[in-house]
Every structure is written in structure tokens, then in C-alpha cells.
A and B are shown apart, each in its own frame.
Chain A
Amino acid sequence: MTTLTPDNLQDAASANLADDPRRRAPLVTGDQDFASVTETVTHLALRKPPRAWYIAFGISMALLGLLGVLILYLILSGVGVWGNNQPVAWGFPIVNFVFWVGIGHAGTLISAILFLFRQNWRTGINRFAEAMTIFAVVCAGLFPGIHVGRLWLAYWLVPYPNQMAMWPNFRSPLLWDVFAVGTYATVSLLFWYVGMIPDLATLRDRATTKIRKIVYGLLALGWRGSNRHWQRFEKAYLLLAALATPLVLSVHSVVSFDFAVSQVPGWHTTIFPPYFVAGAIFGGFAMVLALAIPARQWFGLKDLITPRHVDNMAKILLGVGLMVTYAYATEVFIAWYGQSPNEQFAFINRAFGQSGWAYWVMVTCNCFIPQLLWFGKLRRNLWLLWGVAVAVNVGMWFERFVIILSLERDFVPSSWGQFMPTWVDMGMLVGSFGLFFTLFLLFCRYLPMVAIAEVKTVMPQAHAGHGDKQYDDVETDESGTADYRIP
């Protein structure tokens, strides 16, 4: 076992294990000062974006167009354009829904929970993780909406007084979903937006065109950086963080109820809520990594999203991956231990039945591949890390697919069937990525990708003894490392 010494740690740009925070790798590298950080981040929003942006945007717009056309086709003909059937009445749309809701977890997790736990390394990544959350939730919200047979009546899911004197059925998990996802989307959006206000003011101040000036001006809500503004901002941010934290856990728990509350063998298990939350964090972190690695490369954010950030995320990915693996194992164990023949068969069938291949794709991607992250060397290989992150995303999509496929064989063998996706299913899955990336690229282009103000607080310059003091109320610990200014 190698001994960790301050020396070899300092070498590593990703070092963060030292007890002495001074020994940890800095969270902003390069010769960045406040001005250059501002310039680095606003550069993308205010200047001409790199060519990579245009190419990526073109591709995702094309995919978004495909999604639009397919939705139109769906509305004009019927949900039969998908591969859904008897007995698999839910197919890709619900798989995609759960997948995207899962992705939508990491942003708020990074923002809120890491914020409350004072994990200051989150500053480099929280903004676009939050943005990713919002866009993932947009994608997620789309699918249950269009998956219903008569989508023009989907508003009946909402309780409101009506001439039919009908209320929705509050016993149905689908209704809980409506509330859970709705609340989550609202709070996440607010959290994201509130956190962005100081940076929007920065953009406003640096904007060159009139339209931008006005739009950023309106969005910045008249932010002037006064003490009072900061104080209220921080209070609001803290409150929203506290509000969002339980939601991170509740949303996917509620989504898991769609399955857990039913009596389909393979769905009806009590482990689903924690299992789904773990899975969601797993998938979400993987997606953050999958986005962050190219983003820091193409958009010049290497100094703000440092190897230390990436390494931290990789470790979390590994940790959550183990939780997910544990959940898979528990599921199988309980099926055996519970001695319900239906349940037992559901798991045997999952692994060795007609669609067993999907199960093994899931296990490989979610359980085996992340084990590579035990090795620091591999963690620091960005290409490989990116590959792992993508594999985890694939695996997490398949996890939901495998769950849906439980429907193929339930209680009555005469009704066993097989699910085969149609080209429309495929097109919509790909199209949803188009929607996600279109929104994400627009975000990169027009909004501050990194929380400028927050990053500055973790820079040495923000602290006593470093250059010009910008703030009077900065608390510093003995080491001189700044922490969040929480009253």
C-alpha cells in the first residue's frame, strides 16, 4: 500500500484526500483571477461560440425535429405506432420517462445536498448540473404526457373542479407522479434561476447588444450586488436548497411507486424507492460527467472544472454504482427468500428468459464497468472516464427497460408476449436526446455555464491575504480556505 504523502498528493491535480485542506488540489487552476474567471465563463455566452457548438447544435436540432415529427405522427394516428402491446402496455415512453427523471436527479443533488454539506468543490459543476436537471425533467415530462392514449385529455390528471363532478383517483401512483414531478420541476427551476441571478447580472453588465442587455437585465431582476441583495440571495438560496433536498429523495421514490405499488411480479418490491433513488443519482452523475468532460474541453472551462472535480464525481459514481449493485442483489435475494413462485420466475426470466440479453447489458454497464473506477489512474483518464459515464447511462436506460419487460411474462402464460420496439420508439428515444441537447446547448450559449460568483468564493483571491479584498464578511478558517458564507 502506498503511503499518501503531501508531496505526491500535491502532484495530483485531483488530490483531495489530505486532512489539511491546503494540501488539497485547488478548485480553480491556471492563473485565474476574478476577471479572468468572469471572462472565461461569459466568453461563451457573449462571444461567438466555437465551431463545435454549431455542429452539436445542428445535430441536436435535427433530432429534435425528428421528435416533433414523430409526436405529430403519434397524435394523428394513435399510440399504436409504438411497439406497446398486450401484455407490455408500457414500452419505451415510460422507460424514457424514468430514465430522464433519473438523470434529472444529479443536478439538484449536487446543488442542494452538496451545498448543505458544504462540499465546496460543487461550485464548478453545480450550474450546468442544475441546467441538466431542468432539461432532463423537460424530457421526462414529455413522455408521460404523450404516452397516454388520448393525450388531449391528459389534463384530467390534474384535480380541478369540473362539470363532470369527477376527481382524479388519489390512490393511483400515476397521480402521485404528477404531483411529485411537477413539484420537483418547479423547485428545481426556481433553485436554478435564483442561483443564477448574480451571474445574470454579470452577463447583463457585459452584454454588448441591446436585446441582450434588456433580456439579461430583466432576468437579473435588478441585481446590483449590494450587501442587502447578497444577504437575501443567500437566505433564499439556502431555503431553496433545504426545500429541494427532500425532493431529490422523494421524486424518484414516487416514480418507483408506479412499479412498486402494482402487483406485477418483478415490480412489486419494497426495495424500489431506495433502489430507484440510488439509480437516479448514479445515472445523473454519469450524465454530468458525460457532459462535463467534453464541455470543459470545448468551452475552455478546464480551469474551473478541474481534475479534482472530475475525480470526485468519479468516486461518487463508483460509490453509487456499488449501491445499485447491492440493490440488484437484494432484489434477487428477496425474490428467492420470499418464496413467491411468480416473483422467483420474474427474476429467472429476467436473467435467462427471452429478453435476458437486456438484463446482462444492464448488469455489465452498471455493475461491472464502474469497477474500473477503483483505480486512480483510470479515473484520471478522461476518455476512459467518459466512456464509463456513457456506459452507465446506457446501463441505466436498460435497467428501466428490463423493469418494463417484466410485463412480458406475468401470471397467465396464455398472455405472455414479447415487446419489440418500432422505428417510432427508436426515433423518439433518439429525439428526446435531441430535445435535451438542444436545450443544453442553448443554455451553454446564452447563460452562465458555471456559477461565476460562487467559483470566485473558492479562489484564494477571495480570502484574507489575497490581493484586493472584495468582501468584508468572508469567513475564513485557520487554513485560509474560504467556506460558504452562511450566516
Chain B
Amino acid sequence: MPAADTGLADLDRLPKTETNVISLLDDRGSLADGFAELLTPDQIGQAMRLMLLSRAIDDRVTKLQRLGRAGTYSPVHGQEATVVGSALALDPARDWMVPASREQPAMIRHGLPLDRLLAGYMGKINFSRIPDNVRLLPRNQSIASQLPHAVGLAWALKLRHVAGVVLVYFGDGASSEGDFHEAMNLAGVQSVPLIFVLINNQFAISTPVAKQAAVTNLAVRAAGYGFPGFTVDGNDLFAVYAATQWAVMRALAGGGPTLIEARTYRVGFHNTSDNPKDYRDEVEVTAAVARDPIERLRKYATGVGAWSTDIEIRTMKGIASELESAYLRAVAVPRPGPGDIFEHTAASLSTRVRRQRRQVKGEEDNG
């Protein structure tokens, strides 16, 4: 077991289901013995808030899209424990996050301001720029393309002897792309400090994971690249956090990459252009809703006194007001103009492109 390389032996201690899925917090909100100290009450409260905020963002931006005030949106609904649990295991002042396109609360936890996140969906392209001090790459709509970028970024940290790890998100569909193989392979060869978080939400738009791969446990693929891979219950904040923390410590100690398959379910639609009723049974969705990651954590947190109805009411009020003011700030930002097509395309523009800019902006063309 590679854990021995880093002195981290606790991975084997993590309880697993009969199908070899790491699971600490069950559907009823009952935590496995010995893990009560894994997250502090503050961290649990922070996780609850981020997950509730995530769902509020889903609702708000979906409504904005229906009103024509926002573009295409992909809700996180159902996957909150996966993205929040993994993000909480990172140090935003040290580690880098490379998102796919459905990890909103993770990006916020890593430092992306809410107004800038919303602005991105509202077409306010300049305002949505990631602030300079936030170690986050932009969302990437070309599935799996971000994986080699994450390898290179982690490689740079290693070459420059900078402490830190990179965590990259991608989905079950992405694991079928060539970039997945190429990135995993290079990451293994160069032993870079990288955590691959495969969010297996059972669908790539409509295609079920069974048609994506002939293996049921996608984590086994890590073996072919020479580093550990394991599956966690992606609706279990504790399991995701514990696994990610293990991988982070291993990477920081020079142990190299880890693949974590977080098994969850995309309760919402693929995006606002999608209607999942066309391709999946409601029975299946109902079963997934019954395994809701927020409800599970709420039960546990309430049981240990880290959460209550009063806290939730206060939190929801705070979220509503935070969301509203972030939205108003994003609304107030002027829409980009035609000249913005040419901004940030290159450090310097060619004569030809400068002329196109004048034409697009309706300025007089003096050659």
C-alpha cells in the first residue's frame, strides 16, 4: 500500500461497504465510531452553510436562466457533499483548484467571491475574472481538457519546490476521454502532487455510467498509472473529506497523485437545456433524493449539537441576503461591449486585429 511511503496508514482504517466504497456517515446520519473528531463543529457548520448556499445558487441561477437573465447553468444538486467535502480538505492559501463546471460551492470555498461567480453566468465576463490571489483556474467546458493542465500545474509546484497540491474535478464521462488517460499517465510518471476527484454522478448528460465504462469501480483505473485510487460515498461529507485529506497529505509529503472516485447522483438536470425525464426513471431519482447529502449531514450535525433549526433559519436568512446583494452587485456591472471581444486575446494585437476591433466598435477605419 503506497500509504507506507508517506507514513499515512489511516486509509486502511476507513470503513468500507461490501462493495469497497469508503463510507463514514450513513443515510440516517449515523457516523462510524472513531471519526467524531474528523471535522470540528465549526467545519461542520461551514460545510452545512456551503451546501445550503449551493442549493440556493442552483435555484436562483436556474430561475434567472428561465427569465433570460442568465445563460446555461448546471446545478450541483445532489453532489454537494462531494465538492464541499473535497474543497474543505484544501488550504486555499497553499493549494490550487482546477474545476470542471459543476463545483460552485468548492470554488466559493476556495476564494471565488459569490458576485463574481454569478456574474459569470450572467455574461459579465470581465467581472467574473478570478481574483489574482485566488488559486483557481477557470471552468472548462471541454470535458477532460483541464486534466493535463492540472498535471502541469502540479508539476510546476514540484519543480519550483513550492509547497502545495492541485485538486482537479472531472466527471464519469470525462474518464472516457483521451485526456484522462494522458493526464493520469503523466501524473504517475512525474509523481506530481495532484488529487484527481472523479465525480461519478451516474450520467454524462443522458448516458449512464454503465455505457461509459465496462468496470463498475472507476477508481481501479489508478492502478494502471501506478498510484492509489479508491471510491468514496460522494454523498458522505466525512468520507469525501477524509479521503481527500489523506490524498493531500500524501501529495504534500511527495507521495504523488491519488484518484478519488466520489460516487454520487446528479439529482438535477445536466444543464438548463436538458430534461432528464426523457431518459431516466423518477423512481431512481426519488431513491437518490432519499440519500440527500445535506439531509444526512443535517441529521448528524443536529444530533451532536453542531446544528439546529434555529441555526438553519438564521443561515438561510444570511444566504438569502448574501445571494441578493451579490446578485445586485453583478447586475450593476455594465454588460461587456463589442470591444471586449478583443480584450485579453493576446498581450499585443496585430494590425489586422486592431482594424477588426475598430470595425466591430463602429469606429472610423483609418487603415
> Do A and B originate from a single complex?
no
